[in-house]
Chain A
């Protein structure tokens, strides 16, 4: 059974040292950052459930710029709450530029 999912589309700026971290590293970094908050995380189904995230096009390693990322939750999260909780958990070099609900 699939739970209902609530999405937040986020534009994330990758700069300074974080430009050396790959897309795969980002999955790790964001998954762990989310887990450190008490936000209602949506986990993928299946044998090896993990934090669900989807990514737009990857940047080249060493390149600064914007990545599009969709976050998934099991309840509706106000944008401000999302920011208040996630931002303190992000490493320097990752910052939220824009959030759109959907």
Chain B
């Protein structure tokens, strides 16, 4: 390959620090972890690093990686009839026994098909003789049922060892699938009949050892679960360019719109000592100049004061930036104020979601806006110049006055603090397993009106940087999140018509999707309105 002709060739070289190289021997099981988005995003994903490290820790298994190639390489491979390859050994995807995809984001599904196709792998599960496509990180897998042999629901660390044993013991695809079907967390769509009767989805087992309902699995003891201390460290910039140490999983808060708290239920913490050990180990192995303490809500971490104090003390002389995303406002101005001053990067990102107290109460978002004004002043004194705020629109119970309040709020904040504001306003997308899973997504028409109303009151100011949802894209995400098995054909059509990188505003092509729905004899609206008494994913239990 003449890499100089491609954008950011660093993405495809596979020469990161701590990359795992193993030599091949007959009988070795070869797995490739596949991330259906660009390198810069995929390499920021902690889950992928955990699985990569853990699978490679087993004898007899070699696990490699591949990311969605950017358009230039993708088109080059297609045109030259070359196959998409793994980073480590440059092996075409079709030569792996197992391809493990991350399905954390619904708008990456056409990229998933593009990667299979580019890698010389048949798209439909039933067409593949030997290769097993495994998918994880997904709440509702039904829309992909036609393409994926086996889904994993929950946290893979728990069953990684059993998985490794099974794929080493059985060599035949069918035998492997049958053995996996008996283990919690694995879901093999073809072992179930799913059909609609009356106004309900009915789920029936076709293979007697398959599980019903299907339960997700989760790590019970975070202190003793696998963590990739030999941190894979890229030589080029990625989106979250820092080492990440998970301090907790799940979230004890109960915001009604939130899916993450359900996917990662229950709330679990890693002990301060263990976090410190991991942070030191990861720093030693990576030399990363930035470290992030990861959780959905750091403020809920029981020993947050002690943790912050000890970690800042350890890293201060080493000039390592420690960041704590997901802190609540009260803590930034309150109990953590002193320690935070010692961390050079105070991450000032606040998910306000709704601009009025009434609406926040109805979505169960507990946040005190007065504290935010106070926080903004403190941030200024901490030398932070930016604050990032998240809002939603299209929420249930929402009135026009709630939307106008976003602009009013910004004006007050500006007057009080003079911080630069990065503002992200997103359409509310109902999600499976959240408390709002029953709520309907608003129509495109209404959402467009609301978007205009919000924008009409946002101060035009160069200190306010705004990004706001593309409505059609958000609706596609909603449809995909609730998909049933019939939706596979729509994704397939969209892929054939050239849809890729749907999560990127500038690459998302609504007309392609509209055509894909049309060719499948349906429409986005039709999918949105399809209401049943239960869901296409009611055979899955997340709690």
Asked if chains A and B come from one complex, the reply is yes
Taking Cβ atoms with an 8 Å cutoff, the residues of A that contact B are 17-18, 20-22, 24-25, 28-29, 31-36, 43, 47-51, 61-62, 89, 91-93
Q: Are A32 and B17 in contact (CB under 8 A)?
A: yes
Please classify how large the interface on chain B is, using the bins under 10, 10 to 19, 20 to 34, 35 or more: 20 to 34
Closest CB in chain A relative to B2 CB, distance in Å: 9
Stretch at the interface among B230-238, B250-258, B332-340, B348-356: B230-238
A36-B285, A91-B15 are contacts. A29–B319 as well, Cβ < 8 Å? Answer: no
CB nearest to B8 among chain A residues: A20
Q: 1/0 per residue B1-26: CB within 8 Å of A?
A: 00110000110010101000000000
Stretch at the interface among B100-108, B201-209, B286-294, B404-412: B286-294
Q: Are A43 and B319 in contact (CB under 8 A)?
A: yes
Closest CB in chain B relative to A50 CB, distance in Å: 6
Partner of A47 from the list B3, B285, B344 (CB cut-off 8 Å) is B344
CA distance A51 to B288 in the complex (A): 11
Partner of A32 from the list B288, B319, B344 (CB cut-off 8 Å) is B288
A21-B235, A29-B235 are contacts. A36–B15 as well, Cβ < 8 Å? Answer: no
Q: Are A36 and B236 in contact (CB under 8 A)?
A: no
| B283 sits at the interface (CB 8 A) | yes
For B285, list chain A residues within 8 Å (CB). 36
Partner of A50 from the list B233, B284, B289 (CB cut-off 8 Å) is B289
CA distance A51 to B13 in the complex (A): 26
Closest CB in chain B relative to A3 CB, distance in Å: 12
A20-B3, A20-B9, A43-B319 are contacts. A31–B235 as well, Cβ < 8 Å? Answer: no
CA distance A62 to B286 in the complex (A): 26
CA distance A31 to B289 in the complex (A): 8
10 contacts between A and B (CB under 8 A): A17-B15, A20-B9, A28-B235, A32-B233, A34-B287, A36-B285, A49-B319, A49-B344, A91-B15, A91-B235
| B318 sits at the interface (CB 8 A) | yes
For A92, list chain B residues within 8 Å (CB). 15
Interface residues of B in 254-283 (CB under 8 A from A): 283
CB nearest to B5 among chain A residues: A62
CB nearest to B235 among chain A residues: A29
Q: Are A20 and B4 in contact (CB under 8 A)?
A: yes
Given contacts A35-B283, A47-B383, 17 further A-B contacts (CB under 8 A): A20-B4, A20-B10, A20-B13, A24-B237, A25-B235, A32-B233, A32-B286, A33-B287, A36-B287, A43-B319, A50-B289, A62-B3, A62-B4, A89-B287, A91-B15, A91-B17, A92-B15
CA distance A44 to B235 in the complex (A): 21
Closest CB in chain B relative to A87 CB, distance in Å: 14
Q: Are B289 and A32 in contact (CB under 8 A)?
A: yes
